[in-house]
Amino acid sequence: MEATASWWRAERVAPTLTQTQATAPQGSRIAFGALVAFTGILILSPQVWFPFLKNLRIAFLAAGIAIAAHLLDHTVRRRAGGPAHPEFVIASCLVAWAVLTVPLSYWPGGSVTVLTEHFLKAVAFFWLIGTVITTRHRLRIFVWLLVLCSIPLSVTAIQNYQSGVFLQTPMGAAQRIAGYNIGGSGLTANPNDLALMLNLVIPFAAALMMSGRGIAQRFTAGAALLLSAMAVILTFSRAGFLTLVALGLIWLGGVAVRRPIAALATVLVLAMTPAVVPAGYLERLSTITNISTDRTGSAQGRWTDLTVAAGLVAQNPLTGVGLGQNVLALNQQRGDTWREVHNVYLQYAVDLGLPGLALFVWLFIALFRTAGRVRRRHATDPGSRDVGIIAGSVQAALIAFAVAAFFHPVAYQFYFFCIAGLGLAVQNASWAARRLAPLARHSAGWAA
């Protein structure tokens, strides 16, 4: 009787996750694929190893396809976007301030070159990562890309050390290995930049090691982490060492409460480290506190530059000397060395004045807090725990950059803006996971 009474009712079909996922704002697959390609080209520079690729301008081509496909997807197809990111507004204000100060620059033409050749490209990279990576799946792919790309960098550093491929240094000074692209250019051609890049990737290798799906993934991520740490030491980079120590302290702070045995094992490994480091490494590190003993003269020169740069900030606190023109300003004050100030914070303060520094710090804090909210939100959710772990790795990478920024002249390069983009990507993935969670529960209810 009941069956005949309800024959007229429309049959209800339980929604499936594959159906509902199609409604999530994922964006163009072409844009994401091009972003992945551009990032791989940016880190590994295949055109250096295969010269015929230089004429094809593969990096420019990949970036152009990513931007065009993304804009087409959001204008012609009118896809709904995710939550608004106030960090984009802060970054736009920083770029706008850099543009406004160009007429007051020591060399306006030079500022325009830095703006178009470096700064705008880095900010566009930040924007692409923060808008194209919109799901957990894409987030994991991109993080895996960074970790896998770190392996060739680390292996090259180790090979250069074993083969004796060193930079020219003054007699008696510790030998420094060559960077990744021998005789070329790129993010990691300099050993200090190589150490910086590897340190920024280490937190993501740790995240994948903890959230990997299977033994093979966990082993690969763990191997990449160990190779990166070894390579950082072999670069003999003092900034790289201090950043690596900061990451070690973050790791200890994270595992000490939950896994005291793992924390104890880490402490024992660190205690044995001085016995296995390369010859001359400890002497190199001693110049961090005893500057006068640096035979290369770099420590003394950088300290002089820091004091001169601080004086320049006092002289030009509002507009600075112009984007990228701290080199000219330092030359006028202490003589021609054509050396940038090796401090990101002073780069912004000298070049763009205190407003430029304030905007950068504001952007950094906003991204750190965003990643922190995502980490806390997914810490206890087994269905999206990996998003929380990656968000925690974003925070660790930001701390690593904050430490390294005291020693590197990379204010307008891709390093920070890559991590910054991931700070927004984890928020996108969190938003997508929360949107799909009720649908998943509804689908599970139908199945029951």
In the predicted model, what is the mean pLDDT of residues 142-162? 96
* Region of 237 on the Ramachandran plot (φ > 0 left; ψ -120 to 50 alpha; else beta): beta
Residue 218 burial (10 A CB sphere; 0-12, 13-18, 19+): middle
pLDDT category at 210 given cuts 50, 70, 90 is confident
Q: Which residue has the tokens 């994948």?
A: 208
pLDDT of residue 3 exceeding 60, the answer is no
pLDDT of residue 120 exceeding 90, the answer is yes
d(CA 316, CA 7) in angstroms, rounded, equals 82
Joined together, the tokens standing for residue 22 give 């199609």
pLDDT of residue 165: 87
d(CA 59, CA 54) in angstroms, rounded, equals 9
SS percent in the chain: helix, strand, coil, step 5: 75, 0, 25
pLDDT of residue 13: 42
- 410-442 confidence digits (pLDDT tens): 999 999 999 999 999 999 999 988 776 554 444
Q: List CB contacts of 118: < 8 A, sequence separation 6 or more.
A: 324, 412, 413
More confident residue, 312 or 16: 312
More confident residue, 296 or 246: 246
Beta carbons of 379 and 387 less than 8 angstroms apart: no
pLDDT category at 125 given cuts 50, 70, 90 is very high
Three-class SS state of 177: strand
- 232-275 confidence digits (pLDDT tens): 999 999 999 999 999 988 888 776 566 676 667 667 766 666 66
In the predicted model, what is the mean pLDDT of residues 9-28? 45
- 364-406 confidence digits (pLDDT tens): 999 999 999 999 999 888 888 999 999 999 999 999 999 999 9
pLDDT of residue 198 exceeding 90, the answer is yes
Identity (one letter) of the amino acid at 4?
T
| Backbone phi and psi for residue 401, each to the nearest 5 degrees, phi listed first | -70, -40
Among 71, 85, 84, 76, which Cα is nearest to 31's? 71
pLDDT of residue 55: 86
What is the number of helices (H) and of strands (E) in the chain?
Answer: 19, 0
